[in-house]
Structure 1
Amino acid sequence: MNESDSTPRIGQIVLTKKGRDTGQYSVVIQQLNERFVLIADGDKRKFDRAKRKNISHLHLYDYVSPEVQSSILETGRVTNGKLRYAISKFVNECINDEKKGD
């Protein structure tokens, strides 16, 4: 795996692989350093109380929400509604498509 694949991007959808929130989808809202990011889902994990997560405990999807990314880059924050929308859009478009292919 090359470096660009393992570097999370703002607005990227991730799936938690370890910890209390295993199996939860979240959005990367900030990169803290090369090992940690802040994630939030707009529901249980609001933007203001983002969770610090080790990147190795996350499955990074090759999907970045343009709405979330532009909002954070322009204003430094994003609404919880936008986070929820980004996750549900991703799950409906990408995950359900994978399941249909089975």
Structure 2
Amino acid sequence: MGETKKPQLGQIVKVLRGKDGSKYAVVIGIVDERFVNIADGHKRRFDQPKKKNVLHLELQETISHEVVSSLLETGRVTNGKLRHVVDKFTRELQSEALEKGE
């Protein structure tokens, strides 16, 4: 795996392990070096985040500035905003895949 990048607040991640495997979520809290709290607004809501080992996540390039500013201003983010960010990201992925002809 080479270098390990540090997850950031608002970053979109793909879950690689566990029952949420291959789903996307947003980092809403950094616990320590190895663990982050993630939520997607659907099954994993803001008030019940999942604590995940960073090694079990695939960090995506995308960071949602809406989520970051909301967390910094109020200390929380709405589940609707989390759903919107994840849905928008997956739609963009699908359209990129279609453009490439996959």
The separation in 2 between residues aligned to 1:84 and 1:61, in whole angstroms, is 16
- Counterpart of 1:96? 94
* Cα distance in 1, alignment partners of residues 41 and 95 from structure 2: 23
Task: Please provide the CA RMSD for this pair.
Answer: 1.1
Deviations 1:48-78 (A, max 9, x none): 0000000000010000011111100111100
Runs of 4+ with deviation above 4 angstroms: none
Q: Deviations over 1:58-99 (max 9, x none)?
A: 010000011111100111100000000000111112x11331
Give me the whole-angstrom Cα distance separating, in 2, the residues matched to 1:90 and 1:52. 21
In the aligned structure 2, how far is the partner of 1:8 from the partner of 1:98? 24
TM (normalized to structure 1)? 0.91
Query: 1:2: Cα distance to partner?
Result: 4.2
Identical aligned residues as a percent: 51
* Number of the residue aligned with 1:78: 77
Aligned to 2:46: 47
What SS does the corresponding residue of 2:42 show, helix, strand or coil?
coil
Unaligned runs of 5+ in 1: none
Letter in 1 for 2:41: G
Give the structure with the higher percent helix. Answer: 1
The answer for unaligned runs of 5 or more in structure 2 is none
Q: Name the count of aligned residue pairs.
A: 99
